[in-house]
Amino acid sequence: MWLKFLTIFLNILDIVLPLLISVAFFTLTERKVMAGIQRRRGPNVIGYLGLLQPLADGLKLFVKETVLPTNANIVLFLIAPLSTFILSLISWAVIPFSYGSVVADPNLGVLYFLGVSSLGVYGVLIAGWSSNSKYAFLGALRSAAQMVSYEISMGIGLINVCVCVGSLNLTEIILAQLDIWLIFPLLPVAIMFFIGCLAETNRHPFDLPEAEAELVSGYNVEYSAMGFALFFLGEYANMIAMSGLTSVCFFGGWLSPLGIGFLPDGIWFSLKICVFIILFIVIRAILPRYRYDQLMKLGWKCFLPLALSLFFLSVGLIVGFDWFPC
């Protein structure tokens, strides 16, 4: 029994440690790419070409004093960032890096991922309410409405993928794309899904919960030191997880393009995730922020009807003409 627990612990550690390192250098990449787009210097002092800047940022947040607001609900105030961080890690349990390289491979992997990602809103709501600050509370309400709005369209898009493949298992979804990636027959669904990922992770141009000009950083305004760091780590880990899910569902996961097999499966999967990460960064650098009414209108009046229409179209083609994309 102890050997089984040790094996599970090592498998979890094998995912968590590389993920935390990836998050650290994701922040450096973001600052470097945005600096290049905006024609300015990024981090270039600490270490060679600024490569040690994430370590310096982490050390700074670790040694800073944790400030607890006087009127806050202290227990919930401390639980909120922990829950956000933990949920961002356990969503990786069902994402396969290569064939057989996955912590858990349930038949309902897509449902598990959607369930875990939907729980993330509770950490944001608890943080905004327990801070006893009107700015934090308004940011939490915005985030809850935004995440719920776009989760519906994202879920319908994933159901579309599952109907075309005939399974909710992520490994089977990847193997079904041996002949053709689902990005080709389901291009509109993939585009809507990625835009939903931007809204789900509160990223630009949908970062309304953290609108600095209106809400003074939003739901995490009262957090400092490690509390803020955990929210920060959770947000960036969620972005990498959403990039991984997009790669799995629409770009063949670990499958190489055109059968090119000179790189290991895990490297192909990592390269696809890196492409989406760069896309996250570039979108933040070049697009203006939406107004809140535009954000909600896009989610409910555009994406939801379009996602339902594409879903019924796919089901109609499959049932009526016995046509499967893959």
**8 Å CB contact between 279 and 29:** no
- Give the model confidence (pLDDT) of 230-244 as tens digits: 888 888 888 899 999
Residue 60 predicted with pLDDT over 80: yes
Task: Please state, for a pLDDT cut of 90, what percent of the chain lies above it.
Answer: 3
Residue 301 predicted with pLDDT over 70: yes
Local confidence band at 259 (pLDDT 50, 70, 90 cut-offs): low
pLDDT of residue 67: 82
pLDDT of residue 218: 74
pLDDT of residue 266: 78
What's the pTM?
0.89
Residue 7 predicted with pLDDT over 60: yes
Residues in a beta bridge with 235: none
As given in the structure block, the two tokens for residue 317 are: 């083609």
The mean pLDDT of the chain is 84
pLDDT of residue 215: 54
Task: Please state, for a pLDDT cut of 70, what percent of the chain lies above it.
Answer: 94
- Give the model confidence (pLDDT) of 70-96 as tens digits: 888 888 888 888 888 888 888 888 888
Local confidence band at 133 (pLDDT 50, 70, 90 cut-offs): confident
Q: Name the residue with higher pLDDT: 213 or 315.
A: 315
pLDDT of residue 153: 87
**Residues 153-162: what's their mean pLDDT?**
88
Residue 213 predicted with pLDDT over 70: no
**According to the 3-state scheme, what is the secondary structure of the chain?**
CHHHHHHHHHHHHHHHHHHHHHHHHHHHHHHHHHHHHCCCCCCCCCCHHHCCHHHHHHHHHHHCCCCCCCCCCHHHHHHHHHHHHHHHHHHHHHCCCECCECCCCCCCHHHHHHHHHHHHHHHHHHHHHHCCCHHHHHHHHHHHHHHHHHHHHHHHHHHHHHHHHCCCCHHHHHHCCCCCCCCCCCHHHHHHHHHHHHHHCCCCCCCHHHCHHHHCCHHHCCCCHHHHHHHHHHHHHHHHHHHHHHHHHHCCCCCCHHHCCCCCHHHHHHHHHHHHHHHHHHHHHHCCCCCHHHHHHHHHHHHHHHHHHHHHHHHHHHHHHCCCCC
pLDDT of residue 216: 64
